[in-house]
Amino acid sequence: MSIDLVITKIEKLKSMMIAVATGGPKIQDINAEYVHEYQELDDLLSLEGFKNPNPHADLWKWYGRWSSGDLPSWQSRRAYISNMYESLLKEAKIRKSGIVSKLDVEPTGWARVDRGVDKIKTQLEKAKNEEDFQGVGFLCREALISLAQAVYDPEKHGTRGDALISETDANRMLEAYIVKEIGGSSNENARRVVKTALALANELQHRRTATFREAALCAQSTFTVINSISIISGHLH
């Protein structure tokens, strides 16, 4: 419900800002309402873990911005407001879609992997800020390490080059596993999927501006790898 309200209030503020900047009502006639709506939205955004992209806490500040010279046309002012709220609206609509419940993995039977999947979904559901989203990246990386440890057998899958593969090097373990288990050029795409998932997880856990959308994408990529390895291994439950 609060996400619906966030979207509703964003659209209302956008309409008010566009109206006063394109020949609509006078600022003094609607500024009090705008300030009230702005503050309510700001509080909601904070509660939901969003950043407020709108620096114009009242319409006089917005007037100062649009009259500064670089927004001379009504079209340029509409575009400025639309661009300002674009990322926030995308984030809010993704949350509203209930995407977390749609991200799923069939139980693998590998206990640590299954626990890792549960932790990722729980973390993503409760995530509210950048640190929480970074935490999703960390959990995705840990789940992929657990997956690699579950399937990789040094004697069967060998090593990459002359060096032994570290037990925490998920990329090299899974790459060696895939090369051995599925031959030919068909393994290239599978290896690429693994590399992409690990890259997303590593990048996310170190990104101080991490977002819900990035965390959900990382989780989806991780789950794709887990499902794919389960299929390759025949370890389906």
Give the pLDDT confidence score for residue 235 in this predicted structure: 67
| CATH 3.90.220 is held by the domain 99-233 | no
Give the pLDDT confidence score for residue 112 in this predicted structure: 95
Q: Per-residue pLDDT averaged across 121-130, rounded?
A: 85
Give the pLDDT confidence score for residue 162 in this predicted structure: 53
Going by pLDDT thresholds of 50, 70 and 90, the confidence category of residue 197 is confident
**Mean pLDDT score across all residues of the chain:** 87
Q: What is the pTM of this model?
A: 0.65
Q: What distance in Å separates the CA atoms of residue 165 and residue 93, rounded to the nearest whole number?
A: 42
Q: Per-residue pLDDT averaged across 207-221, rounded?
A: 87
Tokens at residue 133, please? 């989203």
DSSP string, the chain: -HHHHHHHHHHHHHHHHHHHHTT-S-HHHHHHHHHHHHHHHHHHHHHHT-------SSHHHHHHHHTTSS--SHHHHHHHHHHHHHHHHHHHHHHHTTHHHH------S-HHHHHHHHHHHHHHHH--SHHHHHHHHHHHHHHHHHHHHHH--HHHH--BTTBPPPTT-HHHHHHHHHHHHS-TTHHHHHHHHHHHHHHHHHHHHH-TT--HHHHHHHHHHHHHHHHHHHHHHT---
Q: Which of 37-41, 118-122, 133-137, 198-202 has the lowest mean pLDDT?
A: 198-202
Going by pLDDT thresholds of 50, 70 and 90, the confidence category of residue 139 is very high
Going by pLDDT thresholds of 50, 70 and 90, the confidence category of residue 65 is very high
Residue 52 φ/ψ region, left for φ over 0, alpha for ψ in the -120 to 50 degree band, beta for the rest = beta
Give the pLDDT confidence score for residue 114 in this predicted structure: 93
Give the pLDDT confidence score for residue 70 in this predicted structure: 92
